Structure 1
Amino acid sequence: MPYRALLSACLLFICPAWATEPVSYGRDVQPIFSRYCVACHACYDSPCQLNLGSGEGTARGAHKLPVYDGVRTEAQAATRLFLDAQGAQAWRRKGFFSVVEGQDSQAALMARLLELGHQTPLPANARLPESLEIGIKRSNRCPLPDEFSTYARENPQAGMPFAVTGLASDDYRTLQRWLAEGAAIDQQVLRPSAAEARQIAAWEGLLNADGDREALVARWLYEHLFLAHLHVAGGEPGHFFQLLRSRTPSGQSVDPIATRRPNEDPGTAFYYRLAPVQGVIVHKTHITYGLSAAKLARVKALFFADDWQVDSLPGYGAQRRANPFATFAAIPPQARYQFMLDDAEYFVRTFIRGPVCRGQIATDVIRDNFWTLFQDPRHDLYLTDAAYRARATPLLAMPGQFDAIGDLLGLWLDYRDKRNEYERLRMQAYATAPAPDWSHIWSGNDNALLSIFRQHDSASVRKGLIGAVPQTLWWMDFPLLERTYYQLVVNFDVYGNVSHQAQTRLYFDLIRNGAEQNFLRLMPAESRLGLLDDWYQKSGKLKLWLDYPGIDSRSASGLLLPLADPKGGFAESLLLRYADLNARPDPINRCNGSRCFREGIGSELQGVEQALSRLASRPAAELKVINQLPETTLLRVEQANGRREVYSLLRNRTHSNVAFMLGEALRYQPERDTLTLYPGVLSSYPNFMFSLRAAEVPAFVAALERASDPTAFEPVVERWGIRRSHPEFWRYFHDLAAYIRETEPIEAAVLDMNRYENL
């Protein structure tokens, strides 16, 4: 129906009587955007920077430039919603154009894009045409109003929602009517409850307390919590807060100060404030951290129990940003490390999942699955040996503060050499220290054991040891954990140029190597070179020679491990010794007998998991269907009682090494790929979904075992797959978020579908 006739037709013939009332953005429109649009249009990788998770984002509109550009030679202006500009006109001055306002007697861009999508529906649950480019690497045209006719003629299937089942008819009419009425946006501002306000006041009181010690601790805490979605004990479900620097004190409206990084000079007097997170919560940026009276008491005990002093407060210059160990040297390192250990999962999530929504700059330097452990503070020489700490601190500075293209090689070599000098110093110091034993591995709470899974350009973190024993493990001490956090979170600028991004990637490679080398100290001395050779096969040998210092292959380990398979023996002992801390026991992937299912589940799910375990931990050379599967597949299993369980099927790609920035495909070893299967949604980015009844699971598994090529895989997708064009795609897709809400309510958020594949 032509746009101009839509409103009158709706009023006269189509819509019910109540529809003659004006459409409300908050009541009627934002729920539709949340249902159909936010799964793509949120965060930095939103197509055309159009963020439809809030009224502010809708009013801001779209932009021609993408945020992600790995080859730009100049840093790009920051365009963070709610921070870098306030109000539609301010965004217009930054190059954004409206998608909801009609121009020159034409309908709004959104209306025309919706109409284009409505006119060209997809065939039900069919594969998309190969000519329709999907995925995050596609080039988005982002047409201006006077470019739309050409855009529609050249891209007839590029209406909205893009490459997915369209809006229900009622929702389509509601949006078109709202646009025809002028697209008024009533801002829905979240406000804290009384209980939340009390906690906010207590935390702001701590962060803004008088005194140099208090100011230095507050700055360190801010730099470590600025990315968090803070939830308050006893607060309202769905309420989250963020820590900001504001020009206004507590009790007044927050006036945020926008700096590119949280450790840059605010340029004026400021106050630390907790402000509500506005808009729809999306899983990819939802990195949660809990606040409570007990946590506040813990912070005070950690940081202010000892009588340490501050000679003078540090500034915000480049050298201060590059070396937080020097900047915050006055704060006892035991307090800083223990604060991070208390919530280690949060901190690892910040650099594995955030602060960006497309993280290949970091993820292509890590294995597809590995476990992470932490060094006990009592046995971390950086904490316990002041003389060693004084020698080490100047060597711990990190690159990325200067981004001149011509200086890239020199900067890299300088920081590489300092890091390697530190590694040699560290190796010498630990060679004379007591041999590491089980007491050297931190076991303070269930954050002590973490599993990391890479899904190409994203990754996820979970408490507990999930999956088969991985090829590599990380053992992180305070300098490793803090450097990773500052390099990938605090100091990383998503709008930075190619030099900044390259420096970040190259230095993180050194950090990964440091965590691997630290783990090798736990292995028998005579086994270390063999393990290192396995981790750095082929071209990795060249990288070992070029950029990494040698390892300690002589100092003894305090662990009595079998020489035939020391890593396997370590993993077996770790699982036994730390069983009470292992948040996710995993009999599915590490089945040692006939009971390949979790304890405490019903007989129906026992049968499901027993059957699914046949897919886990087998190499692609044996289970050829792995070659047909994407990075993250979600299995939705419906039980006879009407309930459903969700499993993540993660593809672990294997590489000869992960030591180089380029040429990943040349190091890929596809015959060694495996699958990890575990209950829950273990990624923010589903690549595909199957839905089946519990009774069908054995047949599903058998079909996958037979699907050795695309032709054999096609019937599996046809029978159980939920393609982008499935008539009930959105019901199934949002049911994944509903499952998270039921099982982990604090983590509930809208998932991303930009990476949903065309199987």
Structure 2
Amino acid sequence: MYKTLIYLFIACLVTACLDDTQELELNNNLPLPRTIDVDYASEIKPIIEEKCVACHGCFDAPCQLKMESTEGFLRGATKLNAYDGTRKEPITPTRLFIDAHSQEEWQEAGFHSIITGHDAQASLLYRMLALGKTHQFKDNSKLPDDLDISIRRDNQCPTVDTITEYEEKHPLTGMPFAVSGLTDEEFSTISGWLYQGAKVNINEVKLSQKELSAIKKWETYLNQTSNPRRLVSRWLFEHLFLAHLYFENQGQNTHFFELVRSYTPTGKPISIVKTRLPNSDPGQPIYYRLRLVKGITVHKRHITFLFDEKLKKHIEQLFFSEPWQINTMPGYDYEDRANPFLTYSAIPAEARYRFLLEHAEYFTRTFIRGPVCRGQIATDVIRDQFWVMYQDPANDLFITDPSYRKKVEPLLGLPGQDDNLTEAKENWDKYKDKRNAYLSLRDQHYRDAPINWTLTNAIWDGDGSNTNAFLTVFRHFDNASVVKGMVGQVPQTIWWMDFPLFERTYYELVVNFDLFGNVAHQLQTRLYFDLIRNGAEHNFLRLLPKDKRKSVLEDWYQGMGVVKTYFTYAPLDVDSRTAEKFSSEDTKNELANRLLKQFTQVNAAANDAINRCQNQQCFRKTQTDWVQQADSRLSRITEATFKEQSGLQFLPELTFIRVKHGDERTVYSLIRNRYHSNVAFLFGESLRYKPEKDSLTVYPGIAGSYPNFIFDINAEELEQFEKALMKATSEEEFDTLVLKWGVRRTHPQFWQVFHDFTQWQREQNPIDAGVFDANRYENL
């Protein structure tokens, strides 16, 4: 009773100090603060993880308020925008757990607290939650059209001093933003915690003896002192620094670790190396250490990699089964960073390539689904759906011919290291010319090669069992996803990557990419990735008859794209003779279907009956009857075209569907593959977009980290949903469908349904499960 009176007295004092309008808002049926002691770890943190992290868990979190960890929550917010493709100068990085550690350090870097103020109700957290609680939307209603929910909206990032003005100008932007808000109990709990002093108790994770032993063994292994060992460890670090590493047999309580560079050895606290890039000069001796990944797992950045004894033995066999030496270790200067092929030339090329191949899904995810949360600088270079395959090491001259390798290594450097605006064009021309000189040499040597490489047997077959051999990439505008196997209908383009292409893609988009860099750096990254894509496409075309390649290429580069094939890209190889035989005029699709038959054993989507239905069995045979019926029903919409009278035109790029059957449920991802006449230019994407040629892929499970919308459907209503979707000829008819089965941002069960997709993934594949991002959830 004594505490209650104190809280009510404080609330009255605060209210008395405010103007009449603010008093009405604060007393507009807002729940009173809870008087019973509130524990941060067990009561506040779960609310944050359920209703805040989905929009505050990546670098594009509004105001850089990253709440997936307590450290990010305490760091607070800043007006500094991490994403700015036009800035002339690079900015100071703001990476959690790297660039600063204490709240004082972050405040010096421009961040301000959201939980402190002259009293509890003055804190930004309280004011923003109260604003959201005061202005609530009608259940499952569309948001007002004038409420900007796009990721490119201007974030105001108010401070304690400007929050009152913000509330007056933006009354509908309280938190959680434009979505089903806090319950009365949750609001009462958080406000009570704030009144009680906002005490934060961080429960430190206690690692098991098995985990501690594994960490020590790996750190000892990676910090051996001979030159060959040091060089391989450096190469492994640069290829695994993004990974969420985990040890085997950890069950539901799996902890994840990251490989970092430290100035301190095993047994001492980690002193993190704060360089901008993982291959920047640390300035003094370093050690490779394993550091626990803190906070809740966010799906977008959760790219897992198993660190077990089997891997260690394989590294040993792969890199050290044959003796090799290096007398002088490479440094970290401009050339060493720009050309990894020269930097690591002493390491056997086959070992490097095979490590990439055997973990191709991981490496492709790093540059397709990595921590860069707005990747349009890279994704506008790729198609919305394409297959990726790799050249067999035995048929890759870079691996098999040392003299050829020595000739081309100096030509494989990458642009972007120099972010000088005035020298950007000169720098670009230099690397573009080197790349074209490399391709000229490549064509010449492959034409004279004793190996027969222009046939499907030259494609890596996963050594008969590795399903990393074939992948499918889906682009979702400014982000993308990767899944194993050849998923969906035959795509317009297919990539065939060799070692130089694979490694350059990884270094250009991951190791050497600076999120905080300027426009010169980001532009050169984008332009060079354009050349890489073109190179992978040309490789595939060499499997087609010589007289068919040009017409296929012109289909990929329609309009002005054809002009670019003559002035920017390397000439199309029309001299190498394919060893494949063809019986139809549609040679590209004939070859694609041949791949589906030839590589069934390592194609994880070999029996994609939903998207490639045959013999009327449009379902997965391994599933239960009701799931097979759901498969078959959804398969119907993959056969439809996006013509003007089809409801498919109203679908966003990535839709999650939950289908329920009693106490059971299954999930699907509906992926809209947008069709472009070409993807060869930096600007004018909308002019090259042909929506009538879009296609749809239904993926059973989760593809993508950013759902644009969710449908929640009972299995017995799935036929009704499918027919209503196909018959919708107007936005009004589609709205009726959304109102019945859609889960709008304002749906009272929005959070329950949204997080159930994470829970479903946790049940199916707990290692890869994480919280999905709601920043791109649309107002359908």
TM-score, length of structure 2 as denominator length = 0.94
The residue aligned with 2:325 is 309
The residue aligned with 1:149 is 164
1:502: how far off?
Answer: 0.1
The residue aligned with 1:583 is 604
Judging changes above 3 Å, is the alpha-carbon distance between structure 1 residues 745 and 255 closer, same or farther for their aligned structure 2 residues? same
Match of residue 368, structure 1, among 379, 384, 392? 384
Correspondence list, 1:311-460, <5 A: 311-433=327-449, 434-444=452-462, 445-460=466-481
The residue aligned with 2:305 is 289
Match of residue 658, structure 2, among 618, 627, 636? 636
The residue aligned with 1:158 is 173
Aligned partner letter, 1:482: E
Residue by residue over 1:600-639, the C-alpha shift from the partner in whole angstroms, topping out at 9 and shown as x without a partner, is: 1122222211111111143312772232111101111001
1:436: how far off?
Answer: 2.2
- Structure 1: distance between partners of 2:5 and 2:150: 31
Kindly indicate whether residue 610 of structure 2 is the aligned counterpart of residue 594 of structure 1. Answer: no
Aligned partner letter, 1:111: Y
Judging changes above 3 Å, is the alpha-carbon distance between structure 1 residues 404 and 3 closer, same or farther for their aligned structure 2 residues? farther
Judging changes above 3 Å, is the alpha-carbon distance between structure 1 residues 748 and 622 closer, same or farther for their aligned structure 2 residues? same
User: Alignment partner of 1:633: what SS?
Assistant: strand
The residue aligned with 1:723 is 744
The residue aligned with 2:19 is none
1:20: how far off?
Answer: 5.2
User: Alignment partner of 1:475: what SS?
Assistant: strand
- Structure 1: distance between partners of 2:352 and 2:550: 33
The residue aligned with 2:729 is 708
1:526: how far off?
Answer: 1.8
Judging changes above 3 Å, is the alpha-carbon distance between structure 1 residues 75 and 536 closer, same or farther for their aligned structure 2 residues? same
Kindly indicate whether residue 137 of structure 2 is the aligned counterpart of residue 119 of structure 1. Answer: no
1:335: how far off?
Answer: 0.4
Does structure 2 conserve the Cα–Cα contact (< 8 Å) formed by 1:103 and 1:145? no
1:28: how far off?
Answer: 1.3
- Structure 2: distance between partners of 1:125 and 1:106: 30
Does structure 1 conserve the Cα–Cα contact (< 8 Å) formed by 2:120 and 2:126? no
The residue aligned with 2:489 is 468
Aligned partner letter, 2:715: A
User: Alignment partner of 1:146: what SS?
Assistant: coil
Judging changes above 3 Å, is the alpha-carbon distance between structure 1 residues 415 and 2 closer, same or farther for their aligned structure 2 residues? farther
- Structure 2: distance between partners of 1:745 and 1:41: 22
The residue aligned with 1:99 is 114
User: Alignment partner of 1:671: what SS?
Assistant: helix
1:257: how far off?
Answer: 1.1
Aligned partner letter, 2:472: S
User: Alignment partner of 1:473: what SS?
Assistant: strand
- Structure 2: distance between partners of 1:104 and 1:601: 57
Match of residue 259, structure 1, among 275, 280, 303? 275
Kindly indicate whether residue 245 of structure 2 is the aligned counterpart of residue 230 of structure 1. Answer: yes
Does structure 2 conserve the Cα–Cα contact (< 8 Å) formed by 1:41 and 1:53? yes
Does structure 2 conserve the Cα–Cα contact (< 8 Å) formed by 1:338 and 1:377? yes
Residue by residue over 1:120-162, the C-alpha shift from the partner in whole angstroms, topping out at 9 and shown as x without a partner, is: 1111000001111102111100001110011000000111100
Judging changes above 3 Å, is the alpha-carbon distance between structure 1 residues 112 and 170 closer, same or farther for their aligned structure 2 residues? same
Residue by residue over 1:212-264, the C-alpha shift from the partner in whole angstroms, topping out at 9 and shown as x without a partner, is: 01110000000000000111112353410000001211112222111110000
Judging changes above 3 Å, is the alpha-carbon distance between structure 1 residues 307 and 368 closer, same or farther for their aligned structure 2 residues? same
- Structure 2: distance between partners of 1:299 and 1:311: 21
Which deviates further from its counterpart, 643-652 or 193-202? 193-202
Aligned partner letter, 2:616: S
1:311: how far off?
Answer: 2.1
Correspondence list, 1:530-549, <5 A: 530-549=551-570
Give the RMSD, CA atoms, in angstroms: 2.0
Does structure 1 conserve the Cα–Cα contact (< 8 Å) formed by 2:175 and 2:181? yes
Kindly indicate whether residue 315 of structure 2 is the aligned counterpart of residue 299 of structure 1. Answer: yes
The residue aligned with 2:545 is 524
1:522: how far off?
Answer: 1.3
The residue aligned with 2:182 is 167
1:599: how far off?
Answer: 1.3
TM-score, length of structure 1 as denominator length = 0.97
Which deviates further from its counterpart, 675-684 or 557-566? 557-566
Does structure 2 conserve the Cα–Cα contact (< 8 Å) formed by 1:7 and 1:177? no
The residue aligned with 1:213 is 228
Aligned partner letter, 1:421: A
Does structure 2 conserve the Cα–Cα contact (< 8 Å) formed by 1:192 and 1:276? no
Residue by residue over 1:307-341, the C-alpha shift from the partner in whole angstroms, topping out at 9 and shown as x without a partner, is: 11102100001111000000000000100000111
1:362: how far off?
Answer: 0.6
Residue by residue over 1:534-562, the C-alpha shift from the partner in whole angstroms, topping out at 9 and shown as x without a partner, is: 11111101111110111111221122233
Which deviates further from its counterpart, 130-139 or 554-563? 554-563
Which deviates further from its counterpart, 628-637 or 200-209? 200-209
- Structure 2: distance between partners of 1:675 and 1:668: 15
Does structure 2 conserve the Cα–Cα contact (< 8 Å) formed by 1:635 and 1:690? yes
Judging changes above 3 Å, is the alpha-carbon distance between structure 1 residues 400 and 611 closer, same or farther for their aligned structure 2 residues? same
1:15: how far off?
Answer: 10
Kindly indicate whether residue 216 of structure 2 is the aligned counterpart of residue 195 of structure 1. Answer: no
Aligned partner letter, 1:137: R
Gaps of 5+ in 1: none
Does structure 2 conserve the Cα–Cα contact (< 8 Å) formed by 1:230 and 1:289? yes
The residue aligned with 1:755 is 776
